[in-house]
């Protein structure tokens, strides 16, 4: 089982009937599903812990719990809206009472969101899903858009309550906590942060192509060899990489740091790195299309015209069946230089954010819409009781790596032995800080 804060709790009972499931999760890629499974507090693997699905439902499911919720995870066989739609339709036949379906995984992100620079690993939570590639395609980009708003009044209210400073800060804090836990999970060893020095945002108009001697690229045609080559192999110009403050700050810090054995200094720097590198959460409209967006200019045009902050392919397909929220972390900038390096890490961040979102939602949703999802942990308890039941964050042992970004900085190893518990206690446990903003 995972090393999560809930691991010491007694294992909850599995749900006996598929009608008891109210929260679904859909993942398009195996790496996304592995991250979500790793974020399960309990994973029901035995045959007698699973529920039977409807006749003819050929989906593959995983069953588990996240926080206080039972969740059923559906695995897609492939990427894309059609596949997502088919899987969601099947899922609906088996799980008629699903009230919220999270589409969790990776996306391409817009470089600037409301004047904030984004970095790979930053997460978007969809308040709207827009099918930007429905309808006519124009030379300047896609124009006709099909907007899919929040599918239920509960979700709309939840977003309105979430989109205020303190709840968002709390969500960030939960994300950080789950990310630190997941980072130590034995199945997340290849999901660690690849290093900010690989986070390259190129000038939007600068295309990833053979620089000379390739007639295909020179003719502006699709060049498979170029698409499959890395920026290093193609020698994409470093001076076309845009400078971002979050990264230059870190570079300067790392430089000033050098190698030091001064603990106090190291802790201060740790904090600075965490502040800069921890994934940020953005709420907004997500573009869901049937094609992969991999063009910097078109990305910016579509983002501007449609006011979208990220690009992905499955949200709209699931939305047509369930009240859906897309929770996806950036693995690229939806341009031609995109590569797979950050995909695992982004999958882990998305899973951590989905878990944080579910926890936040439990407090944010009015009425009992979500409380009936408590399932095996008994009848819905009062909000007060539930908050008291929150487990404090486990204390880390001295010397344990607790900074997910440590080891990514040249020649130094920041982040050893820092203890986050003091910060975490403010939010977890039964301190007055818990859920204060709801009072």
CB of 339 to Zn ion, least distance (A): 8
For 14, 28, 161, the CA distances from 94, given in Å and listed in that order, are 16, 19, 31
The whole-angstrom distance between residue 235's C-alpha and the CA centroid of its chain comes to 30
Residue position matching structure tokens 């290849």 = 190
* Beta carbons within 8 Å of 437's beta carbon, 6+ residues apart: 164, 166, 167, 170
Nearer to Zn ion, 6 or 294 (CB): 294
Residues that bind Zn ion (CB under 5 A): 208, 210, 214, 216-217, 223, 226, 231, 236, 337
Nearer to Zn ion, 161 or 216 (CB): 216
Residue position matching structure tokens 């429905």 = 134
Segments in 21-138 forming alpha helices (H):
30-39, 81-94
CB of 337 to Zn ion, least distance (A): 4
Nearer to Zn ion, 214 or 371 (CB): 214
What is the enclosing helix (H) or strand (E) of 73? strand 69-75
CB of 108 to Zn ion, least distance (A): 14
Which candidate, 334, 349, 368, 350, places its Cα nearest to that of 102? 350
Dihedral sign for Cα 109, 404, 351, 341, please: positive
CB of 214 to Zn ion, least distance (A): 3
Nearer to Zn ion, 184 or 203 (CB): 203
Residues listed for the chain:
439
Nearer to Zn ion, 104 or 236 (CB): 236
Mutual angle of helices 165-183 and 30-39, in 10-degree steps? 100
Which candidate, 277, 223, 238, 292, places its Cα nearest to that of 403? 277
Torsion of CA 85, 86, 88, 93, to 10 degrees: 140
CB of 194 to Zn ion, least distance (A): 16
CB of 220 to Zn ion, least distance (A): 10
Nearer to Zn ion, 340 or 384 (CB): 340
CB of 118 to Zn ion, least distance (A): 18
d(C-alpha 164, C-alpha 159), whole Å? 9
Nearer to Zn ion, 99 or 208 (CB): 208
CB of 231 to Zn ion, least distance (A): 3
Nearer to Zn ion, 226 or 348 (CB): 226
Q: Are strands 23-27 and 69-75 parallel, antiparallel or unpaired?
A: parallel
Q: Is residue 313 within 8 Å of 80, Cβ to Cβ?
A: yes
Give 284-296 as a DSSP string: EEEEE-SS----H
């Amino acid at each position: 089982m995972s090393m999560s804060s809930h691991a010491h709790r007694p294992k909850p009972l599995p749900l006996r009937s598929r009608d008891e499931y109210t929260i679904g999760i859909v993942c398009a890629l195996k790496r996304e599903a592995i991250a979500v499974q790793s974020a399960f507090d309990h994973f029901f693997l035995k045959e007698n812990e699973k529920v039977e699905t409807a006749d003819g439902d050929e989906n593959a499911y995983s069953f588990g719990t996240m926080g206080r919720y039972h969740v059923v995870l559906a695995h897609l066989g492939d990427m894309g809206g059609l596949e997502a739609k088919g899987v969601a339709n099947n899922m609906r036949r088996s799980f008629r009472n699903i009230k919220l379906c999270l589409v969790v995984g990776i996306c391409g992100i817009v470089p600037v969101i409301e004047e904030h620079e984004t970095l790979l690993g930053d997460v978007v939570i969809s308040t709207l899903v827009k099918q930007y590639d429905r309808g006519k395609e124009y030379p300047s980009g896609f124009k006709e858009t099909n907007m899919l708003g929040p599918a239920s009044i509960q979700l709309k209210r939840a977003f309105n309550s979430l989109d205020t400073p303190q709840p968002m800060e709390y969500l960030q804090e939960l994300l950080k906590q789950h990310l630190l836990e997941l980072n130590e999970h034995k199945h997340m060893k290849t999901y660690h942060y690849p290093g900010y020095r690989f986070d390259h945002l190129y000038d939007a108009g600068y295309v990833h192509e053979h620089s000379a001697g390739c007639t295909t690229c020179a003719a502006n045609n699709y060049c498979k060899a170029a698409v499959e080559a890395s920026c290093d192999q193609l020698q994409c110009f470093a001076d076309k990489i845009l400078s971002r403050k979050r990264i230059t700050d870190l570079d300067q810090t790392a430089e000033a740091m050098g190698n030091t054995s001064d603990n106090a200094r190291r802790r201060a720097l740790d904090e600075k790195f965490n502040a800069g590198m921890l994934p940020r959460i953005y709420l907004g409209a997500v573009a869901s299309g049937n094609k992969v967006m991999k063009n910097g200019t078109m990305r910016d045009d579509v983002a501007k015209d449609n006011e979208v902050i990220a690009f992905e392919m499955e949200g709209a397909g699931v939305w047509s069946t369930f009240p859906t929220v897309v929770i996806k972390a950036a693995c690229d900038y939806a341009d031609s230089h995109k590569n797979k390096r950050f995909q695992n890490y982004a999958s882990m961040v998305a899973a951590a954010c989905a878990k944080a979102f579910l926890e936040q939602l439990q407090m944010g949703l009015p009425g009992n819409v979500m409380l009936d999802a408590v399932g095996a942990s008994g009848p819905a308890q009062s909000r007060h009781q539930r908050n008291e039941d929150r487990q404090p964050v486990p204390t880390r042992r001295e010397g344990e790596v607790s900074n997910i970004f440590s080891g990514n900085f040249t020649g130094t190893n920041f982040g050893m032995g820092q203890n986050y518990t003091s910060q975490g206690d403010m939010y977890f446990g039964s301190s007055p800080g818990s859920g204060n903003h709801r009072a």
